[in-house]
Amino acid sequence: MKRQAGYATVAPQQLAALAGISRLRRWYELYQQRHLLAQLGDAALKDLGLTRADTYAESARPFWDDPLRK
């Protein structure tokens, strides 16, 4: 089978490595978001409709516990 000019091929190993990198990025984002949430003041939490207990519960979750992952 001929390759079409202008199209790059990606090996399965490269796809797996890219998926691993994107997962690491997502975990780091979750860590940052939870850390920032824990630092919010009471007025900001009230604006968001959250309590201090909500922020403690969320920031205590491990970084790999991704709510968007199904």
36 membership: H or E segment, kind and range: helix 12-39
Using one digit for the tens of pLDDT, what is the confidence trace for 37-62? 999 999 999 999 999 999 999 999 99
pTM above 0.75, yes or no: no
Task: Retrieve residue 54's tokens.
Answer: 């909500």
Using CA atoms, how far apart are residues 7 and 11, in angstroms rounded to an integer? 13
- Which pLDDT score is estimated for 5? 63
pLDDT the model gives residue 7:
62
As given in the structure block, the two tokens for residue 30 are 């979750």
Residue 62 and residue 38 in contact, taking contact as beta carbons nearer than 8 Å: no
